[in-house]
């Protein structure tokens, strides 16, 4: 409930349609689901914390459990996109779609994309505050991976 309210307020502040408004409009179209999928963001401004590793594995587990999953690569480095491309080149099974959206308008696009999936997993960027903020606004659930070192724990406390 709190998350929904926060997303609605954020949408109002940024001038975008609220998730509820988007949902209502989309429900008029045939073949669309009633509710958007759950948005899970992997975020930590510290580099190398394990965001991409966990995002790709979490998306894989959710897909293998029978869910429709989309992974959004919100990191300009495009590591998740590289990973997906490498899998395709190696002829490995495609469990879910991976799309690059490293823009700070991500939170305005996410509700629409989530209508097509049960889970929308966002692989967040390191050190790009505006992008990370946008992913935070888009998310129903934020997971903050932390490597077991003092430097990583200190950096993660800034959230």
What is the binding site for ligand ATP (CB under 6 A)? 47-53, 75, 77, 79, 126
Separation of CA 52 from chain center:
11
Stretch that binds Mg ion, among 34-42, 71-79, 105-113, 151-159 (CB under 5 A): 71-79
CB neighbour list of residue 126: distance below 8 Å, 6 or more residues apart: 44, 45, 46, 47, 48, 49, 51, 75
Rounded least distance, CB 44 to ligand ATP, Å: 6
* C-beta of 118 vs 123, nearer to Mg ion: 123
7 binds Mg ion (CB under 5 A): no
Distances (CA, A) of 145 to 11, 42, 52, 149: 27, 7, 10, 12
CA 155 to CA 146: how far, in whole Å?
A: 9
* C-beta of 11 vs 71, nearer to ligand ATP: 71
**DSSP string spanning 135-148?**
HHHH-SEEE----S
- Choose among ligand ATP, Mg ion, none what residue 48 binds, the Cβ cut-off being 5 to 8 Å by kind: ligand ATP
Stretch that binds Mg ion, among 38-46, 73-81, 107-115, 128-136 (CB under 5 A): 73-81
Contacts with Mg ion by CB under 5 A lie at: 51-52, 79
């Amino acid at each position: 409930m709190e998350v929904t309210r926060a997303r609605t307020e954020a949408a109002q502040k940024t001038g975008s349609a609220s998730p509820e408004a988007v949902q209502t409009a989309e429900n008029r179209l045939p073949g669309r689901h009633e509710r958007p999928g759950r948005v899970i963001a992997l975020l930590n401004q510290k580099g190398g914390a394990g965001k991409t590793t966990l995002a790709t594995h979490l998306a894989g587990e959710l897909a293998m459990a029978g869910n429709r999953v989309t992974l959004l690569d919100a990191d300009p480095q495009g590591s998740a996109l590289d990973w997906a491309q490498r899998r395709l080149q190696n002829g490995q099974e495609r469990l879910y779609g991976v799309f690059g959206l490293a823009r700070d308008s991500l939170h305005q696009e996410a509700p629409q994309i989530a209508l097509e999936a049960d889970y929308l997993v966002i692989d967040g960027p390191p050190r790009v505050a505006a992008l990370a903020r946008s992913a935070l606004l888009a998310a129903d659930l934020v997971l903050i991976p932390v490597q077991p070192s003092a430097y990583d724990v200190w950096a993660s406390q800034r959230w």
